[in-house]
Structure 1
Amino acid sequence: MSAVLDGRAPCILTEAGARKLTQRIRAKLANVLDLVVQAWEGRAWEPLGYDTWQAYVDAELPELATLRLPVDERREAVAAWAARGMPQRAMAAGLNVAPATVAGDVAAVVPFDPDATVSSHDGRRRPARVRRDRPAPEPPPAMTKRDRAAQLVTEQGDRGLTALELAEVTGWTGGSATGTMCDLRKQCRVRALPVFRRGYAAYVTT
């Protein structure tokens, strides 16, 4: 029989017990997400001496790097944070996903409101979303997966993009995204940063 660290055998849950425990976990997680947005609203990075929200999250909340919510729960958080005026890049840092992932979530779950605003790092308010009269153009048909991946890496700037984030943004399988990123590295089109998110190295263009 297996045992836990304190020497006691694990308690096998009934269906009712498993449901109750799951609800407790979800409640705890919801509380954590609410605390994160409170930190953003209170500009917690400033009194602690950080220049940006991202720097604060990276240094003070490394535990968020292990956070990976299911799509439905992540979108619930995005909708709630957007309603409180949190910008997409700040959401991405708090949820440990690529900004492009949050942009897709916003488009999927947040109704367009021309009067909605978000708070920038300087405290100013700006429009939350820019409405497009027509969809953004799709990549040219001739664009290869490597070219598309390189384009997405470039769009992330100094933050870089991991193979896992590439898979989330494009819908590719994890193996395909990892293989494509490796090909780009062999071609010297990207280079790895000494930064890891959810166990995956971040890449920037060379």
Structure 2
Amino acid sequence: MTLPATTTLDQARARADRIRASAVAVADWLADIRGAYAARDWEALGYPTWQEYLDGEFGEHRISLPVEERREVVGVMARAGMSVRAIAPALGVSVGTVQADRASTVQNRTVAEPEAPRRVQSLDGRSRPAYQPLRVVPAPPPEPVVLTAEQVAAIERQTQQAREDSERRAAATNLRSVLTYLTSTVLTPDQLADDYTAVLADFPHADLEFARDTMTAIAKRSADAYA
């Protein structure tokens, strides 16, 4: 529901005349323009909206201010409870310009100056929050991944293959260490045989034979490679 005007025709007309006459006196203009907005003078004068009131009454007398002075005026109007959409047409600038001026005013405000109101009076006369809270929309949860039996089997094969490759690389590294020790000239072959016989005494004979055959195959392939 839109709130009714709180002024008479004579009061609204007198205020409009003063605004035109004092357009060069910023302090007087500011006091009357705030009063006109608060009292909803446009309704008393028969204008449907605040914008049409400003255009009809002050189209040729719209105030024009330097940037720094305009920013100060924007800060005063905002602290008086005027909304950005009400300030912009009163100063003849865009809503974006008022928002930028407002941000600059807040950033440069000293501690002694009053805080901007948490609520402003909108064009329809209602009191609304000066700033709309940021709405955080949570991201939807990820869709569950459903694998087919073939995909599961493929992943298991890849995992098994990776495990076997890792074991083979580790075995090759260990074998290289053993061969480095065996080919050293510190001990004689008989001494090395005695050492490894003691270390490998608990290994099954079949495993030792498999290891012997493996070493024989490695020696043969190495010999063929360097032949």
What TM-score comes out, normalization by structure 1 length? Answer: 0.47
More strand by share: 1
More helix by share: 2
What TM-score comes out, normalization by structure 2 length? Answer: 0.43
Whose radius of gyration is greater, 1 or 2?
2
